Amino acid sequence: MSGNNDNANREAYVHDSIKEHEFDGIQEFDNKLPNWWLWTLYGAIVFALIYWVVFHTLEIRPLPREDFAAEMQEAQEIQLERAAAAGLSNETFDMMAALEDRVADGREVFVKHCVACHLDDGRGMVGPNLTDSVWVHGCEPMQMYDVVSDGIAAKGMPAWMNQLGPTRVQAVVAYVMTIRDTNIAGKAPEGEPCIY
């Protein structure tokens, strides 16, 4: 605005070097970038490299997303423990079926002890197809839990509670809940349509 101000500004830039070229009267400064700016840049580059190696190459630390999933899983475990302490119910089985670890444990039990009669994907052979929506003894988790625990001796379904104990029986029921209603073609439906 005032002539004095212009002079002051010019003073401030007296050490600036200006490149020789000029386009339409526009010129370009050629100054060293401020150190704080450069160090922020170098820092960001170093950080990015370390982050890449630690999280993506060597996978020493879990990604935030994985951290979050693990914490959620832990919180759900705690919630389940509390609910189970009050007694087993369909709801506690719903919680178990939502826990990947628990379902994976159940899958292991299933592969070891159940596939002889229900086949590897549960589509049924000696025992009924566990992937359809038709059930002899009901499709509620507590009903399955009773069948798996006590068996149906007259029909050739063994009782598993003594052999496997409650934790593994619960896990395998949680697993069966995840294959239920996936309708894999197999043994013809037996029992009544059931929705849970």
Q: Can you give the length of the chain in residues?
A: 196
Q: Count interface residues toward ligand HEC (CB under 6 A).
A: 25
Which one-letter amino acid corresponds to residue 196? Answer: Y
Question: Which residues are bridge partners to 152 per DSSP?
Answer: 157
DSSP letters for 94-114: HHHHT-HHHHHHHHHHHHHHT
Does the footprint of ligand HEC cover residue 116 (CB under 6 A)?
A: yes
35-72 in b/e burial notation, b at 16+ Cβ within 10 A?
Answer: eeeeeeeeeeeeeeeeeeeeeeeeeeeeeeeeeeeeee
Alpha-carbon span 144 to 98, nearest angstrom: 17
Does the footprint of ligand HEC cover residue 160 (CB under 6 A)?
A: yes
The SS3 of residue 182 is: coil
Which position among 137, 149, 150, 161 is part of the footprint of ligand HEC (CB under 6 A)? Answer: 137
Which position among 95, 97, 135, 141 is part of the footprint of ligand HEC (CB under 6 A)? Answer: 135
Site track 96-115 with ligand HEC (rule: CB under 6 A), x = hit = --------------x--xx-
For residue 84, the minimal CB distance to ligand HEC (Å) is 19
Considering only 37-45, 74-82, 90-98, 151-159, which stretch makes contact with ligand HEC by CB under 6 A?
A: 151-159
For residue 54, the minimal CB distance to ligand HEC (Å) is 42
Residues in contact with ligand HEC by CB under 6 A are 110, 113-114, 116-118, 126-128, 130, 135-137, 144, 147-148, 152, 155-158, 160, 172, 176, 191
